[in-house]
Amino acid sequence: MSNSPLEMKITIPCSTEFVSIIRLAISGIAARMNFTVEDIEDIKISVSEACTNAIQHAYGNNPSSDNEIFITARMHPEELEIEVEDKGTGFDLGILGTAPQKEASEKKMGLGLGITFIKNLMDHAEFSSKIDSGTVIRMFKKSPKPFQ
Amino acid sequence: MSNSPLEMKITIPCSTEFVSIIRLAISGIAARMNFTVEDIEDIKISVSEACTNAIQHAYGNNPSSDNEIFITARMHPEELEIEVEDKGTGFDLGILGTAPQKEASEKKMGLGLGITFIKNLMDHAEFSSKIDSGTVIRMFKKSPKPFQ
Amino acid sequence: MVVDFSVNFDLNQDLPILNIKGEIDIHTCPKLQDSLKEFTEKNKSNIVLNLQDIHYIDSTGLGTIAYTAKEIGKANHKVIVVCDKPQIKKIFEVSGLLSKNIELLDSIAEVAQSKQE
Amino acid sequence: MVVDFSVNFDLNQDLPILNIKGEIDIHTCPKLQDSLKEFTEKNKSNIVLNLQDIHYIDSTGLGTIAYTAKEIGKANHKVIVVCDKPQIKKIFEVSGLLSKNIELLDSIAEVAQSKQE
Ligand SMILES: Nc1ncnc2c1ncn2[C@@H]1O[C@H](COP(=O)(O)OP(=O)(O)O)[C@@H](O)[C@H]1O
Ligand SMILES: Nc1ncnc2c1ncn2[C@@H]1O[C@H](COP(=O)(O)OP(=O)(O)O)[C@@H](O)[C@H]1O
């Protein structure tokens, strides 16, 4: 057996109906890793919010099979890592938490909650984004008992 | 919106624990396409059997993140197409249904039922396989009402 | 599994109740938005959102509830969310959304009670 | 969701009952194989497989049941599968597995009845 973590990759089009399917698949992975029901909820919401952001912001809510979202789940021995990547508009990470961003979110009926949830509900999250190139969010949650 | 069908792609390692996750994801897709509960069961089993075959036969039940299985669901307006591909041993399609194959299946505690299920439970299935290169199974099920 | 999403008004109660079933996310939220908009245009009163049959809500759902609360708050009305599922209650708490015009109660029975107090 | 898989013997009945819960597939099947092997090595009798709490079975599960039936069939014993879920019953039917020593009944109650007949 190779030493790299078991990895599941999912690619979905930028289309709202796929987000619940990602939640199903991610719950399945998390359950297999013996996460508690509460942890599974936290992971589900975080991944779901990242996908929702990609649909709403990266691709301007323009459902198309060309605009793809890439989700990768890596089952490390002691934690689950999930990466959500888009090749959309990207954004200036510096705006997060600032007043202009809050205002912009509210205009779109948002609350600036997506990233707040990810930061609060996961153990750790890393954001990277490049204008016109896309965004990658990597999030981590420690598993209750070592896996495998 | 582009004209190509919405497509969801999943890549899993050759490892038994991922098969139930594929079933979850595929049920989600089928439910979104308004398939009946009975049809969803048929699709679930067929896709699951194709993945099981890839794990057992293509990669000799050798769980590894290098041995990958590729599942693609294409949501056509009137049918769901699912492709299950492996890059494993491949096999001679001519053996299907023959006595030597039945015997070989039984040795491995199998019944030669996997492909029987796929053929019986889906509307249509296409098999292609090449020794040392891999196997692709494409299966189709008409949706009850046109999708989208 | 993917559960059907539905929104139904019950106007035969003390307070109008919106019964919501399924998962509230980016896909189903527009339906909820439409129902709430239709309601707030016609009715001027507090509103009860019954989330007892909801097993998932995300930031788009919370945004929609916050927007409704803001709208009906102009006339000093409030949104009463009914939900006893710990995972959903947690999301409301983490969101920091609960305020004097968005209230979270465990049961429909408590709505009547809180009215009398 | 992914449900836990469990196998439990109940030997305090007329016939030994194996209660199986969860999904039987390539991942969980080895556990079922081990339990059945352990059983058939120790016991010489008919066996009831209670699949009422099974919501999925695949060809590996059927293969395991067929193998057990073959083993205990040598001593003229049979496997009685109890299941009333249409989707599971359908799989048994499509498989062509049902034979004189693999019987499919709708309930545990029917097992006692079929014994008396
Ligand atoms: N994947 C993304 N692509 C482009 N912009 C993004 C992406 N994710 C987040 N953003 C930007 O960050 C802001 C904050 O996101 P979030 O916290 O989820 O709040 P909301 O979605 O409610 O606005 C968004 O309004 C958007 O401008
Ligand atoms: N993906 C695959 N790669 C290699 N061989 C395969 C694959 N799928 C099926 N086969 C071959 O076809 C035979 C029949 O498969 P199947 O009908 O599923 O029965 P069983 O798995 O019970 O043997 C297998 O025994 C195997 O030899």
Q: SS3 of D81, please?
A: strand
The identity of residue D19, as a single letter, is N
Q: What is the pLDDT of residues B91-144, one digit of tens each?
A: 999 888 788 777 777 766 667 899 999 999 999 999 999 999 999 999 999 998
Q: What is the pLDDT of residues D72-111, one digit of tens each?
A: 999 999 999 999 999 999 999 999 888 889 999 999 988 8
Contacts of residue B107, defined as CB under 8 A and 6 or more positions apart, other chains included, come to none
Contact assignment for D58 to B109 by CB distance below 8 Å = no
Q: In chain C, how many H helices and how many E strands?
A: 4, 5
Mutate to test the interface with A, among C26, C33, C87 (most CBs of A within 10 A): C26
Q: Is C68 on the interface with A (CB under 8 A)?
A: no
Q: Residue D39's CB: how many other CB atoms inside 10 A?
A: 18
Q: For residue C63, give Cα distances in angstroms to A79, B126, C37, D3, D33.
A: 31, 47, 13, 33, 51
| Ligand 1 atom with least separation from CA of A105 | 23
The range of the structural domain enclosing residue C24 comes to 20-116
Residue D92 lies inside a defined structural domain of this protein: yes
Q: What is the pLDDT of residues C7-50, one digit of tens each?
A: 999 988 888 999 999 999 999 999 999 999 998 888 889 999 99
Identify the CATH number of the domain in which residue A52 sits: 3.30.565.10
Residue C11 lies inside a defined structural domain of this protein: no
pLDDT at A129 (0 to 100): 97
Closest CA to B124 of B136, B146, B142: B142
**Structural domain tally of chain B?**
1
Pocket lining: B15 vs ligand 2, CB cutoff 6 Å: no
Q: What is the pLDDT of residues B30-67, one digit of tens each?
A: 999 999 999 999 999 999 999 999 999 999 877 777 89
pTM: 0.92
What is the percent of chain C where pLDDT is above 70? 95
Identify the CATH number of the domain in which residue D39 sits: 3.30.750.24
The range of the structural domain enclosing residue A20 comes to 6-142
Helix, strand, coil shares of chain D as percentages rounded to 5?
A: 40, 30, 30
Residue B21 lies inside a defined structural domain of this protein: yes
A37 pLDDT exceeds 60?
A: yes
Contacts of residue B33, defined as CB under 8 A and 6 or more positions apart, other chains included, come to B75, B80, B143, B147
**Structural domain tally of chain D?**
1
Residue C7 lies inside a defined structural domain of this protein: no
For B20, counting Cβ atoms within 10 Å of its Cβ (0-12 exposed, 13-18 middle, 19+ buried), the class is buried
Residue B148 lies inside a defined structural domain of this protein: no
Q: What is the pLDDT of residues D36-80, one digit of tens each?
A: 999 888 888 999 999 999 999 999 999 999 999 999 999 999 999
Return the structure tokens found at D18: 């194996």
The identity of residue A55, as a single letter, is I
The residue with tokens 């981590």 is: A140
Which of A56, A57, A120, A126 to probe ligand 1 with, by most ligand atoms within 8 A of CB? A57
Strands in B6-14's sheet, in edge-to-edge order, are A124-130, A134-142, A79-86, A64-75, A6-14, B6-14, B64-75, B79-86, B134-142, B124-130
Distance in Å, CA A133 to ligand 1 centroid: 15
